[in-house]
Each structure stands twice: as C-alpha cells, then as structure tokens.
Amino acid sequence: MIDLSGRSAVVTGGSRGIGRAIVLRLAEQGADVAFSYRGNEAAAKDTAAAVESKGRRAPAIQADVSQPESAEALVKAALDAFGKVDILVNNAGITRDDLIMRMSIEAFRDVLETNLFGAFYCIKAVTRPMLRARSGRIVNITSVSGQAGQMGQANYSSAKAGLIGLTKATARELASRGITCNAVAPGFVLTELTKDLAQEWQDRITEQTPLGRFGTPEEIANAVAFLASDEAAYITGQVLGVDGGLVMM
C-alpha cells in the first residue's frame, strides 16, 4: 500500500473536483496537505474538514497562483505549518474556451498565466527547500488537450502542452538531488465542469474513449498518489495518461 506517512504536500486548486480528490487521497495515505483555493471559501472549508476527519492537517490557503507573490506565500504557509514540503501537485487551472478567431487576447493570457505560469511559480518556490532536503516529488496535472489539441481550446491546449515541457525540463534540472517531476494527463473526467455537458457531447466522448466511459476524480488522484510515493522513486520526466485510452502515444 502507498504510504505517505510523515510527508507534507501542497496541492493547488484543491477545494473542488480533481484537486479535492487529490487532497483527500494524499491525506488517506498519511500526508498532511496544504491546499490553495481561489474564491470558494465554503468548498475549501468542507475539504479541510474532510481531511481533518482523517486525522491529518489541512491548511486551506486563499491564493491566486497566477501571481508569483501569491504562489510564494502559499509555499511559505505550508513551510510554516509543516516545516517542509515533500510533495507539490500543480492542479490549479481555468478554461476560457472559444475558437481562435473569436478568442480574446485576455482569454488566451489568463489561461496561460494560471495553468502554466502558476505551475512554474510554485515549482520555483519549492525548489530551494526541496534541494536542501535532497528529495521531493512534483506532479503536474496536464491534459489530453495538451497532447492532442482540442478545438476551441487553443489557450488551454497551449498551456497544458507547455506544462509537459516544463515537467521534462524540471525533471532534468532536479534529478541529481533526488527530486522527481512527472505529469498526469487526465482524459474526460466527471466533475462540476463536465457534468453539465449536453448528452450529445457526453455520448460522443464515450464513443471516442476506448474504455467507453468518463473517468473519475479519484482515478486521477490514484495516479498522483503513486507518483508522489516511494514506489515511483525511479520515474521522472514522464507523462502518465489516465484517459481510458483516448490518447495513445
């Protein structure tokens, strides 16, 4: 069984959906988990309470990771609470979907700044303490959209593709100090964002997915927990697709 006892983690965008599932899964395996949320304080409090019910600590920190000082404050809060950061999961993300012809410059920039720049800011903030500890696990949540592209998501696909490059560069830079960096690429997952999709689109997605269904947040969280564990100590610079076979590379 994956054992994260004594570990401390930071998860960005941890109050809902995939982020919440990751926070809960890491806590179930024994980690204390600080997580950021952007605006939904009620959801953050609910997630923190769920973690605390498992006997773990869960500081909920309001932070907009698209701002470098906010990302630094998030990591500092975790260091103040736990004394160390063993695991970083870059999950925070937004969408501003539109066709390229209609997409505003602001919509393109906003998605890149949260989904890609935010991950960079958080990695930069944890690098020094992880280097001192000569260990660490960084897991970035990318997407099938970053691997195969998605119509109407030039901004999101670009950010998620960039995240794959950032993952590999980080893995190369930090490997000599025992720090790994990997990515998880979810396919279509049932969350608050996707449950309202028209039935026609849901049917089309399941037809395109070899396993014939949507994924669950818990299935993504399982992959993250593995990559954050000692069992994955010899894995770095990899992209693990958790997509029901949608993208086979």
Give which of 146, 139, 147, 143 is closest to 123, Cα–Cα. 139
Cα–Cα distance for residue pair 233/174, rounded to 1 Å? 13
Can 156 be counted among the known catalytic residues?
yes
Q: Which of 37, 121, 156, 234 is catalytic?
A: 156
> What are the residue numbers of the active site?
156
